[in-house]
Structure 1
Amino acid sequence: MNENPPIIGLTGGIGSGKSAIASVFKEHGCVIANADENVKVVLRDSEVRDQLVQWWGSQVLDIEGHVNRSVLADIVFQDPNARKMLEALVHPRARQMQEAQFSNAPQGTRGLVIDAPLLLEAKLDALCEIVVFIDASREIRFGRVQNTRGWTEEELRRREEAQLPLDTKRNRADYVLINEGALDEAHDQVQQILQDINNRRRG
């Protein structure tokens, strides 16, 4: 039997609620590596900030001298080469943080969960024993990003076109978890997934 906790990757469309589902996995005894939060930490590194300014000028900084993630996102969404440059700079550092978070997982941890918007695009699924696709209708997802980020339909469409198609993500997943209602409804699904993984390993 494999004694190391399974690495579980979460993927899904924008606004599907990946981080909310990650919090449910945490309640069920998992350790979470949040890629977005790790990237925020990386972008505060002076070496990273200076490199970004060298590439794209002071426009990437806000009035306090911190990296402006909105400006940075606009740059890389419009230029695939810029996106590759940014990923090559940021992803290895974020990956190191993730490895440290997982290596410090306490005894009895049921799973190590990667909560990453670009799990498949960044090939993080290669690290995962299981990939879970978080599913929600476009209407629900748009409502969420409209309320939390102020996005328009056009902005959601533009952002999604920069990612793999949802059908591709869904087809590459081992499980599909529906997240269209209250989080309470996700607990049974998460528990079942963790139990299935445990049974598979014991079998």
Structure 2
Amino acid sequence: MTGSDGLTSGRFRGSQPVIGLMGAPGSGKSEVARALTGEGCAVIDADVLAREALEHPEVVAVLRSWLGEGVVDGEGRVDRGAVGAVVFGDEASRRRLEGLIHPRVHAERARLRSGYVGDPGVVAIVEDCPLLLETGLDGECDVLVFVDAPRSVREERVYRTRGWSAAELALREGAQIGLDIKRERADYVIVNDADPEHCRVQSRRVLSQILSSCSSE
């Protein structure tokens, strides 16, 4: 049975809903995550955890052996841009990197989530993960939210914030499940193509609907 909000009755597994946050590079997921944080949600950011994993000495050593000294800067830290230039053009290398990084990210995710469960100050737990569907993390979420924006907007954002060309954006999107599939799988869609306040209003509205659905079960 599906309720008027589009959610299936009985789907929430606890008093704190777990929200899976999806979106293409440049869609503005971080803006939505900040808005949800401001409303009392605990956000687990997979990108942040992945960056932290790349700083681990064992990971640095493995990447040096796989990809050469060119992926490490003068301070002995992994150059994420150099790594990306290699792995996003070679599926085998990308999967090898994911096999190295993902277990560390998953372990830290689990540790963080266990600390949030039951915390009265946390109204919901948000899994902000670019590869939510690809890694099967959606199966641990009660509801999925997709952050959308026109391609032209996303291209401008990633060029301004990350220095990516349109071709680089297309390459990275091509390594993920199609955006049409992610949008179709989502319970809610937030269109982030205007000013930050408009995004915050939508985010608060969606969270309110999710919490209302959760409390009614």
Counterpart selection for 1:100 from 111, 122, 136? 111
Output the amino acid matched with 1:56. L
Tell whether 2:49 aligns with 1:45: no
Partner of 2:161: 148
Partner of 1:16: 27
Which 4+ stretches in 1 moved above 6 angstroms?
none
What residue ranges of structure 2 are gaps of 5+ in the alignment? 1-11
Partner of 1:200: 213
- State how 1:57-96 maps to structure 2 within 5 Å: 57-96=68-107
Q: 1 CA distance for matches of 2:102 and 2:120?
A: 28
Output the amino acid matched with 2:198. E
Contact 2:13 2:142 in 1 (8 A): no
Partner of 1:191: 204
Counterpart selection for 1:128 from 141, 146, 149? 141
Percent sequence identity over aligned pairs:
39
3-state secondary structure, aligned to 2:88: helix
What is the RMSD of the two structures over their aligned residues, measured on CA atoms?
1.6
3-state secondary structure, aligned to 1:78: coil
Contact 2:89 2:171 in 1 (8 A): no
Deviates more, 1:184-193 or 1:119-128: 184-193
Deviation at residue 188 of structure 1 after TM alignment: 2.9
Distance 1:2 1:159, change over 3 A: closer
Partner of 2:4: none
Output the amino acid matched with 2:48. E
1:86-134 C-alpha deviation (Å, 9 max, x unpaired): 1111111111111222222232311111112222222221211111010
Deviates more, 1:89-98 or 1:119-128: 119-128
Deviation at residue 12 of structure 1 after TM alignment: 1.3
Partner of 2:7: none
Contact 1:110 1:194 in 2 (8 A): no
Deviates more, 1:163-172 or 1:3-12: 3-12
Instruction: With the length of structure 1 as denominator, give the TM-score of the two structures.
Output: 0.93
Deviates more, 1:132-141 or 1:156-165: 156-165
Q: 2 CA distance for matches of 1:2 and 1:69?
A: 37
Deviation at residue 57 of structure 1 after TM alignment: 2.0
Contact 2:22 2:132 in 1 (8 A): yes
3-state secondary structure, aligned to 1:52: helix
Partner of 2:41: 30
Deviation at residue 192 of structure 1 after TM alignment: 2.5
Tell whether 2:179 aligns with 1:166: yes
> How many residues of Structure 1 are paired with residues of Structure 2 in the alignment?
203
1:148-189 C-alpha deviation (Å, 9 max, x unpaired): 122222222222222222111101111101111122112332
Output the amino acid matched with 1:91. H
Q: 1 CA distance for matches of 2:99 and 2:84?
A: 15
Q: 2 CA distance for matches of 1:174 and 1:196?
A: 11
Deviates more, 1:115-124 or 1:187-196: 187-196
